[in-house]
Amino acid sequence: MPNGTSTAASGTQAVDRAALLVSTVVHADVPLTFADLQETSGLAKSTTSRMLTALERTELLERNEAGSYVAGPLFWLYATRHDPWDELVRLAQPTLERVGAATGETVNLSVARGDRVVQVAQVDSTYLLGTRDWTEVDVPAHCSALGKVLLAYGVIDLPVGELEQLTPHTVTDRDQLAQQFTQVERRGYASTVDELEIGLTGLGVPVRGSQGEVIAALGVSGPSPRLEDRHDELGRLLTERAEQLSGLLRRRTRKEGVA
């Protein structure tokens, strides 16, 4: 019959080994292969394999498409409850980069914080004449394509009182805005031309969470002359990429009630 002390020591050792593997993956800047983890931990291959299998089963780790190890769904679950936007930005970054590469324009991801629209990520334009860094700018929702997406799907509401008019083209009439919101739902994307700044056009589409609800908006912006004949083209591209991102978020938020 095994000694109780040795059994406890063995259990503690197993926990320590598992914790080491999880810590190594979480602290790494890139996904780690089995060989990386086996070498870094100094564990035998059989022990490393057994531990990684258990950590995958308990959703502390998972493998990406290349077979390398990354933090598992439990970390995503925690992040969505306590600091959701950092994890959303991490997951969305490849999508933003693909949209930027395809369009050459500035790409932004926005979310609602209270009654405000906040730009949480940006990929800069590849053109010399692009747009500025919007991540630190407080933009009235009714003046931006991303804001109109969140307004159209009821993520935020129009503020009470007179709406700010930033340019002569800014739409401040509530009936006109309501018509625009209906159009956003029908065609799938929002657009603004010279409403936030003269010479600036923006387009935005919804990003959906695990229950199909809109949780963010993905969009591009650039000089109006360069985008004036590309609204439908860019709207389709953004919709396709947003749907792919939404699919990723649904897979990563399997737990009921998350985002």
Residue ranges, CATH 1.10.10.10, the chain: 4-71
Q: What is the pTM of this model?
A: 0.65
What's the confidence (pLDDT) of residue 257? 40
Percent of the chain with pLDDT over 70: 85
Which CATH number applies to 4-71: 1.20.1070.10, 1.10.10.10, 1.20.1440.230, 3.40.250.10? 1.10.10.10
What's the confidence (pLDDT) of residue 80? 52
What's the confidence (pLDDT) of residue 46? 93
Give the number of other CB atoms < 10 A from CB of residue 236. Answer: 13
What's the confidence (pLDDT) of residue 213? 87
What's the confidence (pLDDT) of residue 255? 42
CATH classification code of 82-252: 3.30.450.40
For 189, counting Cβ atoms within 10 Å of its Cβ (0-12 exposed, 13-18 middle, 19+ buried), the class is: buried
Residue ranges, CATH 3.30.450.40, the chain: 82-252
Average pLDDT over residues 86-111: 89
Between 13-17, 65-69, 172-176, 255-259, the lowest mean confidence (pLDDT) is in 255-259
- d(CA 159, CA 207) in angstroms, rounded, equals 23
Query: Which of the residue ranges 58-67, 72-81, 185-194 has the most confident prediction, judged by mean pLDDT?
Result: 185-194
Give the number of other CB atoms < 10 A from CB of residue 93. Answer: 13
What's the confidence (pLDDT) of residue 250? 78
The per-residue pLDDT for range 36-53, each reduced to its tens digit, is: 999 999 999 999 999 999
What's the confidence (pLDDT) of residue 3? 56
Quickly list H helices, the chain: 4-27, 34-41, 45-57, 73-82, 84-103, 145-152, 174-187, 224-227, 231-252
Q: Residue 128, CB half-sphere, CA atoms under 13 Å: how many?
A: 0
What's the confidence (pLDDT) of residue 112? 87
Distances (CA, A) of 20 to 15, 54, 71, 135, 148: 8, 13, 13, 36, 46
Between 16-20, 48-52, 120-124, 141-145, the lowest mean confidence (pLDDT) is in 120-124
Categorize the per-residue pLDDT at 198 as very low, low, confident or very high, splitting at 50, 70 and 90. Answer: very high
The per-residue pLDDT for range 19-30, each reduced to its tens digit, is: 999 999 988 878
